[in-house]
Amino acid sequence: METKKQIYIIASAFLLLCLFFVLFFVFPVFSDIDEESRNLISQKSSVRSLEYDFNFAENFQKKYQEYEPNFKKIDDLSINAQSPVVFIKFLEKTAVDYGVKVGLSSPSFFNEGNFSFANFNLSVAGSFSEVIKFLKVLESGQYPIRIQNLNIVDNTGSGNNLESKKSIQPVKSVKASALIKVFAGDGVQ
């Protein structure tokens, strides 16, 4: 009976020793292998992503000459936030072409999403048809302009608003004021 007891004790000790070996040696090794495998997969994914980005940049560099005229066109659509002189000259030339007098405030620059814009307070004086033609040319001109808060009033001195039904005589001179919003491509800090 005593040998049976010794066999059970030895077998139990052997099982405990095997369990101890598995828990403290084998299991941590497999956990490390699993973790390293995940790291390797992650690194391979990062390498693929970097290779894709590198290939994209390389292809873009090769085609840059092809894209360059389009970049120039985009730059020509926007005003320079540091010096909007070219845009102001465009407004003055257009005003002369349409026979109106124009006044312009200093611009205020702001960002909207990923795009930069400039707001100008614009005042225009001239005949009603000239003012309307001038404003249409601004909206359909070379710069993306949005005319906001347009207000047109009689400028003949009678003080009548154009919407007034009391005025029987046609309005010869009007004054328009508007807030114009212009795309500024080089960004605002």
- Round to whole Å and give the CA distance between 82 and 139: 23
| pLDDT single digits (tens) 74-97 | 777 777 767 778 888 888 898 999
Whether this prediction's pTM lies above 0.75 is answered by no
22 residue type, one letter: V
Q: Measuring CA to CA, which residue among 24, 47, 46, 43 is closest to residue 35? A: 43
Look at residue 189 in the predicted model and tell me its pLDDT.
41
- Round to whole Å and give the CA distance between 161 and 30: 86
pLDDT over 70 (residue 162) = no
| pLDDT single digits (tens) 37-73 | 899 899 989 989 999 999 998 888 888 888 888 877 7
